[in-house]
Amino acid sequence: MTRHAKLGAPVGQTDAPGMADLFRRHDWGTTPLGRRDTWAPVLRTTVDLILASLHPMCLLWGPERVLLYNDGYAEMLGTRHPHALGRPTKAVWPELWAELAPLIERTFRGESFAFRDQPLTMTRNGFAEPGWYDFAYSPVRDEHGAVVGLLNVTSDSTARRHAIEQMRERETFMRGVLAASNDCIKVLDLDAKLTFMSEGGQKVMEVSDFNAIAGCPWPNFWEGVGNIAAKKAIASARAGVASGFQGYADTAKGTRRFWDVQVSPILGPEGTPERILSISRDITDLKAAEEARAVLAQELAHRMKNSLAMVQAIVTQTLRQAKSTEEGRTAISERLSALGRAQDILTLSNFTEANIHEVIAAATAPHRVTEDRITWSGPALTLTSQQALGLSLATHELATNAAKYGALSNDVGRVVMAWQIEAGAFSFEWNETDGPPVVPPSSRGFGSKLIERIVASYFDGEGRLDFAPSGVRFRLTGAPGGISVGE
């Protein structure tokens, strides 16, 4: 550690007496240098120079390399001070001599050396102390030009070295953090021009060469409303206020993404904004999910209204044509149960579509006592939600009528259903056989209207109910609800 002069004191003057006093009191006659009054002028001048300096300095003199030093260097000697004064350098630094001796000898031959952060391990305090040092060796010449000494200007750089290593470790850590982050972290100047983009940010922004966009105005990466929001955020940051916004911006490769952006001022020593920090997080998936939820909510509301309208129509028409309250209650219950079974199927696909086989199976389930009396065949088709509900209600009405009056009212009657796609058109048929002779009704009820008109409208087609004596037949034609996916 370097000893510094007290503020206001003359340069070279320190708080306590030090090496100058030791030099005066030292018995130089017992050293290879001899009495001080016999020293050569160059030696006296060089000693005065190092003693007046606040920087650690030492002087190696003569063939014995006698060590002379100032206050700053004394601190570097540890417990070897003050006994090191006037002794050969080899005896003072035995643990360093093998390493330093070649440099010392070359300096005495007239060479100069300078080292920065040179690692040295000293035992000056009785134990090994690894450290780093800056030092410069310069030859000292007499009046004839002969090298008679070595001037060493040195300093302990261990603290600086540790600080640099810690800084590098922090930089490495921060670089790793920035590279691992999926956020696009940017630094802008006060003109909103790009000066830095994190490694992770370059990946998410699909930037292959940051130099190609360095210096570009950051708001120009935004479009429309986002451009206005970016400029407003920059203005706020210049005023020292953090803000945020969301908007669309393309990556360097043109990929459209939706970002959540936070813009903050980077304050300087005076507390005023010097730069601007912008952190953009890609929330495209979140935005898509929010939009999907909004669409789903709207779709559910629409489905709910349609379902309630259908329930209302079923209840109103059923009660209007029921001969008794009990008959109306039973019919409503059965029809709503059929509607509920169809809704269960639609639930599996978020109320958007249903497989025709599943719709038919659910609608006829209450009437399938044996497997051979109600059969169906046809390609696997996907129906829209409205078509699935309509076909389910129609099949339920036909099966209920067959159970009461038609093919399912005896022990041998059968119901056969079939559907197909012909020339891009959908056709569905219901045929009853081996049931009691059919007598056409004197009037058409709600069930007939539901089958022929309402259901047909869901398929943008026509429905025809035929009360033939051999058995009831129903044919539905219209647009296909989906595509055939196999037999």
DSSP per-residue letters across 408-433: GGSSS-EEEEEEEEETTEEEEEEEEE
- Adjacent-strand bridge partners of 445: none
Q: What is the pLDDT of residue 179?
A: 77
Identify residue 43 by its one-letter amino acid code. L
CA distance 359 to 338: 10
| pLDDT cut 70: percent of the chain above it | 84
Instruction: For the chain, give every residue range classified as CATH 3.30.450.20.
Output: 19-162, 181-282
Q: How many residues does the chain have?
A: 487
Rounded mean pLDDT, 233-246: 95
- Contact status, residue 204 vs residue 186, Cβ threshold 8 Å: no
Q: What is the pLDDT of residue 306?
A: 55
Q: Give the β-pairing of 353-355 and 425-433.
A: unpaired
- Adjacent-strand bridge partners of 476: 428, 463
19-162: CATH topology = Beta-Lactamase (3.30.450)
Identify residue 368 by its one-letter amino acid code. R
- Contact status, residue 242 vs residue 236, Cβ threshold 8 Å: yes
Q: What is the pLDDT of residue 96?
A: 96
Confidence bin at 319 (pLDDT 50/70/90): low
Q: Kindly tell me the burial class for residue 25, based on how many C-beta atoms sit within 10 Å of its own C-beta (0-12, 13-18, 19 or more).
A: exposed
| pLDDT cut 90: percent of the chain above it | 56
Q: What is the pLDDT of residue 10?
A: 44
Q: Taking phi first (over 0 means left), then psi (-120 to 50 degrees means alpha), and beta for anything else, what does residue 345 get?
A: alpha
Rounded mean pLDDT, 62-66: 97
Task: Tell me what the pLDDT averaged over the chain comes to.
Answer: 85
Q: Is residue 4 over pLDDT 70?
A: no
- How far lies 10's CA from each of 17, 162, 424, in Å? 14, 33, 107
**Residue located via tokens 């980077």:** 266
pLDDT tens string 276-296: 999 999 999 998 888 878 776
**How crowded is the C-beta side of 355, counted as CA atoms within 13 Å?**
12
**Residue located via tokens 């009437």:** 367
Q: Is residue 356 over pLDDT 90?
A: no
pLDDT tens string 424-456: 889 999 999 999 999 888 776 666 776 777 778
Q: Is residue 139 over pLDDT 90?
A: yes
CA distance 335 to 407: 20
Alpha carbon dihedral 227, 231, 236, 240, in 10-degree steps, equals 120
Rounded mean pLDDT, 110-132: 95
For Cα atoms 71, 52, 151, give the angle at the middle one, nearest 5 degrees.
75
CATH architecture assignment, domain 181-282: 2-Layer Sandwich (3.30)
Q: What is the pLDDT of residue 224?
A: 87
The gap from C-alpha 469 to its chain's centroid, in whole angstroms, comes to 72
Phi and psi torsions of 313, nearest 5°: -65, -45
- Contact status, residue 71 vs residue 85, Cβ threshold 8 Å: no
Sheet of 57-61, strands arranged across: 66-69, 57-61, 147-156, 129-141, 113-122
Measuring CA to CA, which residue among 240, 252, 180, 179 is closest to residue 214? Answer: 252
CA distance 6 to 10: 8
Q: What is the pLDDT of residue 454?
A: 72
3-state helix/strand/coil string of 137-205:
EEEEECCCCCEEEEEEEEEECHHHHHHHHHHHHHHHHHHHHHHHCCCEEEEECCCCEEEEECHHHHHHC
Phi and psi torsions of 440, nearest 5°: -55, 140
Rounded mean pLDDT, 384-399: 82
Q: Is residue 197 over pLDDT 60?
A: yes
Q: What is the pLDDT of residue 275?
A: 95
Higher pLDDT, 411 or 87: 87
CA distance 476 to 432: 15
229-238, 379-388, 418-427: least confidently modelled range? 379-388
Q: Is residue 157 over pLDDT 60?
A: yes
Q: Give the β-pairing of 425-433 and 414-422.
A: antiparallel
Give kind and range of the element (H or E) at residue 289: helix 284-321
CA distance 154 to 58: 8
Q: What is the pLDDT of residue 404?
A: 84
- How far lies 96's CA from each of 92, 126, 129, 178, in Å? 9, 14, 12, 43
Measuring CA to CA, which residue among 405, 457, 444 is closest to residue 317? Answer: 444
Give 39's contacts (C-beta < 8 A, 6+ positions apart).
33, 47
Q: What is the pLDDT of residue 171?
A: 85
Q: What is the pLDDT of residue 5?
A: 38
What's the predicted TM-score (pTM) here?
A: 0.48
CA distance 155 to 55: 8
Instruction: Identify the CATH homologous superfamily for domain 288-478.
Output: Histidine kinase-like ATPase, C-terminal domain (3.30.565.10)
pLDDT tens string 7-43: 333 434 444 459 999 999 999 999 999 999 999 999 9
- How far lies 359's CA from each of 42, 291, 371, 487, in Å? 113, 30, 17, 16
